[in-house]
Amino acid sequence: MRVTVLGKSPSWQDAGGACSGYLVQEGDHVLLVDCGNGVFGKLRTHVDYVDVDAVVLSHLHADHFLDLVPYSYALIYAPRQQPVPVDRWPGTDTPARPVLHAPPGARETFRRVAGAWGSEDLVERAFALSEYAEADEPRVGPLRLRFHRVDHFVECFAIEITSETSRGRFVFGADTGPSDALVAFAQGADVLMVEATLPRPEREGPRGHLTPAEAGEHARRAGAASLVLTHISDELDVDWALREAQAAFGGGPVSVAREGAVFEL
């Protein structure tokens, strides 16, 4: 299994960057995890968007799904997706329609977003939309997905991805505040990707994000083999984040996600 970072920004993009998006590939099978703003353009530099088998979303915040809008327009209106020849494209009877695994309530959210300009069914026309339940274990070719609810401002799911054809276990922690549930779910992960949004814990109100040190502590308690910090702005110091996470993790390799970084499991 190969995981490629397409975007790692928090809810505002890095200079030239993209919000949450990760490409997971096993053989010819292609899964996109999250599709935040800026991700569709990044995706196109790595794979052909019609070759994506499925998209899975961790939660329904803008920075994790907004690029479903341009992706949907491509799937519906691109010349290559039409039934008749257009320009150099021969026409197709089987246009690409990736599966979209999205959290409960996604259909209504997409209708409200695209409905703002009168295209209510945009996303469900483009994708085969399926709202998952926490206990579901969807398959994408040899890849198996599992979900576990974490502590964020909206319903949000960490995602475990394993493969029938390789041994590695990848856990994406999604957006979360301090979460014993994530620690339990991620036990023994080979690559644990944890958000490190905050320079310091939220001063008031409910927790919904982590600091780099807290991310490191979660990885230590989970006994993860390696830690990748993500959902971190280019306005925070990478070396500081690494030091904080390393000190708390005390274990294997720690890195800060950067676009184009590849993790082989």
- Applying CB under 5 A, which residues contact Zn ion? 61, 63, 175
**Closer residue to Zn ion, CB minimum distance, 1 or 56:** 56
Looking at the Cβ atoms of 8 and 169, the one nearer to Zn ion is 8
Query: Residue 34 Cβ, how far from Zn ion at the closest point, in Å?
Result: 8
Please say which residue, 65 or 265, places its beta carbon nearer to Zn ion: 65
Q: Smaller CB distance to Zn ion: residue 29 or 148? A: 148
Beta-carbon contacts of 225 under 8 Å, excluding residues fewer than 6 positions away, are 188, 189, 190, 191, 251, 252
Smallest gap from Cβ 87 to Zn ion, in A, equals 38
Q: How far is the CB of 117 from Zn ion (least distance, A)?
A: 24
Helices (H), ranges, the chain: 39-44, 62-65, 68-77, 106-115, 122-126, 180-185, 212-222, 238-249
Sign (positive/negative) of CA torsion 204, 228, 23, 260?
A: positive
CA distance 243 to 226: 15
In this complex, which beta carbon is closest to Zn ion, that of residue 61 or of residue 218? 61
Q: How far apart are CA 71 and CA 140, in angstroms?
A: 19
- Tell me the residue type at 179: S
For residue 190, the tally of other CB atoms under 10 A from its CB is 18
State the minimum distance, in angstroms, from the CB of residue 208 to Zn ion: 7
Q: In the complex, what is the shortest distance from the CB of residue 156 to Zn ion, in angstroms, rounded to a whole number?
A: 6
